[in-house]
């Protein structure tokens, strides 16, 4: 259970640190449309395995996940044991996967490298996911409605 929770926190923090350090938009050829199976697998990985919602979804006044703002970014509640100037303080919005190309997401999830070429910032862990899992996660995130601006 500790490992799954750790993985979930790491995934959330990896994406948060990339969002904080994101400075440019990548241009690449669009990928083929994801299948329903990709979206379903991505949902399972995001919600049940990595538990991204725990950090990426804001909470209501009672401390419960706010289903109206599902995966729309939130302050990071985890603090470092000792001061760390590179520590991310906010988990970015993932719903709709705004501001990221598929290639950006694949680099983040498969290599732990942000769109700006820098390593992921703590408290996120560097991931080395299989390509199929990264594609499924991105497909699920893109299937969600983005936060209103």
User: Taking every pair of C-alpha atoms in the chain, what is the biggest distance, in angstroms?
Assistant: 44
Phi, psi of 70 (to 5 degrees): -55, 120
**96-107: pLDDT as tens digits:** 999 999 999 999
Write out the DSSP string of 86-134.
Answer: T---EEPP-TT-TT--HHHHHHHHHH-B-TTSPBPPTTSPPP---HHHH
**Tell me, what DSSP letter sits at residue 65?**
B
**65-117: pLDDT as tens digits:** 999 999 999 998 888 999 998 888 888 899 999 999 999 999 999 998 887 88
**30-67: pLDDT as tens digits:** 556 778 899 999 999 999 998 999 989 999 999 999 99
Mean pLDDT (the chain, rounded): 81
Write out the DSSP string of 33-52.
Answer: PPPHHHHHHHHIIIIIIS-T
CB-CB contact of 71 with 94 (8 Å): yes
Q: Look at residue 148 in the predicted model and tell me its pLDDT.
A: 78
User: Domain segments of the chain: what residues?
Assistant: 2-143
Specify the pTM: 0.73
């Amino acid at each position: 259970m500790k490992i799954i929770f750790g993985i979930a926190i790491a995934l959330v923090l990896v994406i948060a640190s990339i969002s904080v350090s994101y400075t440019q938009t990548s241009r690449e050829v669009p990928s083929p449309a994801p299948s329903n199976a990709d979206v379903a697998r991505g949902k399972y990985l995001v919600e049940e395995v990595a538990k991204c919602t725990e950090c990426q979804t804001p909470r209501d006044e009672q401390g419960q996940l706010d289903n109206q703002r599902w995966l729309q970014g939130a302050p990071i509640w985890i603090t470092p044991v000792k001061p760390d100037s590179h520590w991310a303080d906010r988990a970015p919005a993932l719903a709709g996967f705004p501001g990221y190309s598929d290639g950006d997401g694949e680099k983040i999830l498969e290599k732990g490298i942000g769109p700006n070429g820098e390593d992921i910032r703590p408290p996120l862990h560097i991931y080395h996911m299989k390509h199929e899992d990264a594609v499924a996660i991105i497909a699920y995130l893109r299937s969600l409605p983005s936060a209103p601006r």
